[in-house]
Amino acid sequence: MGRGDGTGRLVSRPDADDTGTGILHVDMDAFFASVAVLDDPSLAGKPLIIGGSEGRGVVSSASYEARRYGVKSAMPVSIALRLCPTAIVVNPPYHRYTEMSRQVMAIFHDVTPLVEPLSIDEAFLDVRGARRLWGSPGTIARDLRARVKAETGLTCSIGVAATKHVAKMASTISKPDGLLVVAAADTEAFLRPRSVRALWGVGPKAAEALESRGIRLISDILDTPRHALDQVLGAAMGERIWHLSRGIDAREVHTGRSEKSVGHEETFHTDISDTRTLHVELRRLADRVGARLRTQQYEASTISIKVRFSDFTTLSRSRTLPEPTSVGQRISDAAIELFDGIDRRQAVRLVGVRGEKLKPAAMAATLWDDDAEWRRVEGALDGAAARFGRGAVTRGSLLGPARGGGALPTNPRPSYEH
């Protein structure tokens, strides 16, 4: 398995057997860094860091040249620059990423209507029904890579397999700019030598639990009785990896993509201890979450917060609301209540607010709506944002100490989960 920097890369020959396949996982290569190079070709071949360059900026992405020095996403830029002092920090406007993503996704939809986006730069495609038009899955993947390169200037890596799980593993191993085809009959042979950490859903703690018992490779899982896996991981996780290690994955490509959560978080220039300042920041984030929920016509049933302290200790808290909401005031009230319940003995480095367990927004108003006035106010803010831009008009309560004296966030960014 590659380490995310292009080492350990495996690709298929042009005549690779694609019998029994039909699922493609397409992943753009170092997408954010590649878009930066597209806009400034002089950056090609250089170690690039995408992120804020001042204060406590965080790495959003990095080129493969930078990754080989150990630079990773979510790493503080200051640490990344110590690992790779020659790296260039760039931060193209976010609209460039969404613009390029739309172009790429449009190409995918030209091949098949069965496209399941996972994020801004990757998607599953079911091409089993496109054979008559475009050829076998392997042929479709080769042509798709060439078309993406010709029309956008970007490269992508594609895994072709019989299931979503194996296709995703294959695309990862083939990066960057590669194609790896795993015929249905070759699935077990492909999986056996891979690390247990390559299995979808096996996080660091689960991997450590398995490795501590000598289960390091997928072949070890195949040789482990099912009841033993359940004892180590629990019945649900045990069942999942038992199936995935055998290439069993019944999940279909779903075109109706819906977000499971919507969140925003901010990292501060300097650690903050003042409770009022932190309350203001939580309300600001809650308003942004509410605005996104309303734009996407969702309501959140659960509100969660994330708090990172000066020593990098990170806590999260959540609560379920009596009724789902997209009202920023209601979200901020819940967030502040959760925050005030935390025993804070250190200054705060980062705060985040997230709406979870999303449901389609209720279309009909109830007879008594306790949030009617806030809906009217926030609807007016939405209208102003649409005309003049987000932040042109805001609540007076947000014009507090959080916007003065070094408390400006250095890395305000949306966080997505699908």
Separation between Cα atoms, residue 89 and residue 26, nearest integer Å: 27
In this structure, the strands spanning 122-126 and 298-309 are: unpaired
Separation between Cα atoms, residue 363 and residue 267, nearest integer Å: 36
Burial 153-185 (b: 16+ CB within 10 A, else e): ebbbbbbbbbbbbbbbbbbbbbbbbbbbbbbbe
Q: Which residue, 412, 299, 418, is CA-closest to 58?
A: 412
Check: CB of residue 73 under 8 Å from CB of residue 60.
yes
CA distances from 177 to 10, 29, 149, 251 (A): 11, 7, 10, 26
Q: Which residue, 296, 312, 305, 248, is CA-closest to 418?
A: 296
54, 65, 116, 122: which one is catalytic? 122
Instruction: Decide: residue 365, CB within 10 A, 0-12 exposed, 13-18 middle, 19+ buried.
Output: exposed
Query: Is 337 assigned a catalytic role?
Result: no
Question: Alpha helices, DSSP H only, in 55-186?
Answer: 64-67, 77-83, 94-111, 131-134, 137-152, 164-174
Is 307 in a helix, a strand, or coil?
strand
Q: Has 27 been labeled as part of a binding site?
A: yes
Q: Has 369 been labeled as part of a binding site?
A: no
CA atoms within 13 Å, Cβ hemisphere of 117: 18
Instruction: Decide: residue 47, CB within 10 A, 0-12 exposed, 13-18 middle, 19+ buried.
Output: buried
Name the maximum alpha-carbon separation found in the chain.
66
Six-digit token pair at 194?
A: 């891979």
Phi, psi angle pair for 254, to nearest 5°: -105, 125
Active site residues: 122
Annotated binding residues for Mg(2+), as ranges? 27, 121
Annotated binding residues, as ranges? 27, 121
